[in-house]
Amino acid sequence: MYTIPFGLGTPVQMFNVVIDTGSPITWLSSSSCVDDACMSATQFHCDASTTLNNTFNASYVSGQGVSGHYVAETYTIGSLQFRGATGIVTQNNAQLPAKVDGIMGLWYYAPGSAVPILNVLRNNTILPSNMIGVWLQSTTPHGQTNDTPADAYTAGGEVTFGGVDTTKFRGSINYVDCAGKRPWSIPVGGMTVGGTKINANGALAAIDTGTTAMLVPRVIADSINGAIPGSIRATQGGLWYMPCRGDTEITMTFGSTTVKIPYIHLALQSARSKTLQGDYCLSAVMFPTGQTAIIQEWLIGDVFLKNVYTVFDFGTNAATGGRIGFAQLGSSGSNGGMASRRASISFVQLAIVGFVCVIYSIL
């Protein structure tokens, strides 16, 4: 998971939250919540906050969820400060990693809403440009075959509110318009695995910073994993395993941008098993089963996003749902200077925390 420091209230209370373009609600645990998940996180003391009448229920596809009420409070994100609505959780059975206190929901609703952060920023003309740029640090840099993932809580990239960081990419940003009423969802242009074309059948993909892996329908998961030499399907569930090392080339295309996913990223090095045939790793291409809902569309998470610079633009095509841009990573992707207009744009360093797949549906 990729997290940022987030402040709420006056005086400010600081938290560590997941940046999640796959969720609309920003939430933290209340100091009055006694559930185990609340007690293991930093809790928000809302005695001085303005409580709103609205309540909320956020349900994970995994069957976990949170519920509570909204408060109106001052947000602090990097150099930004503005007023917004935050979900304060009073019942919590969502299992987040240790030291992760909540979720920063970065959906964009085209018609407008008082809850998602990006709608608040757009409606109040706070940013110089209505966009955020996301660069996710890879735990295994390009060109390396290091089997040991980075330590948890290390620096993990950067999110830019109000523009892009030009030091993190090269060339132009190629944009694809989002589908209406499908937050941050764009058509899948194509995919190849070892030269084999995967039939996307006109699928839409939600580009989701809060999902670690790639969640797709069963037939797609079987097609992708089945094209990887040596891959094995688990006897139960929608999981596949693949040799931890390999050279199969995997590409994904959105619009005019084709991105190569290194094999070592698709073979999740943090989930390894030793077999008589050698080390096998969990495949990042999954079809959720069990308590989870059936996945109809693709959810493309960090296994893809850490190989490209991504822009979530909610100022262009805004009436329909915005657009998503992709650009090739630059050579200074790990140690670059900041873009121009630094005083107007908020740069926030990300941290990498644990390994979790999170998918949301809102009741």
Q: Within 13 Å, how many C-alpha atoms sit on residue 30's CB side?
A: 21
Architecture of the domain delimited by 165-332: Beta Barrel (2.40)
101 has catalytic annotation = no
Instruction: Please say whether the beta carbons of 294 and 361 come within 8 A.
Output: no
pLDDT at 13 over 60: yes
List 20, 101, 302, 313, catalytic entry: 20
What is the pTM assigned to this prediction?
Answer: 0.89
Question: How far from 318 is each of 85, 118, 179, 185, 300, CA to CA, in Å?
Answer: 21, 11, 11, 13, 22
Q: pLDDT band for position 142 (50/70/90)?
A: very low
Q: Which residue has the higher pLDDT, 152 or 122?
A: 122
Q: Which residue has the higher pLDDT, 58 or 302?
A: 302
Q: Which residue has the higher pLDDT, 155 or 198?
A: 198
Kindly report the number of other CB atoms within 10 A of residue 348's CB atom: 18
pLDDT digits (tens, 9 = 90+) for 205-251: 999 999 889 999 889 999 999 999 999 998 877 789 999 999 999 99
Mean pLDDT computed over 287-292: 64
In the chain, the percentage of residues whose pLDDT exceeds 70 is 84
Q: Where are the domains of the chain?
A: 165-332
List 101, 208, 302, 313, catalytic entry: 208
Q: Which of 130-144, 213-227, 275-289 has the highest mean pLDDT?
A: 213-227
pLDDT for 250 = 96
Q: pLDDT band for position 181 (50/70/90)?
A: confident
35 has catalytic annotation = no
Q: pLDDT band for position 149 (50/70/90)?
A: very low
Mean pLDDT computed over 289-316: 85
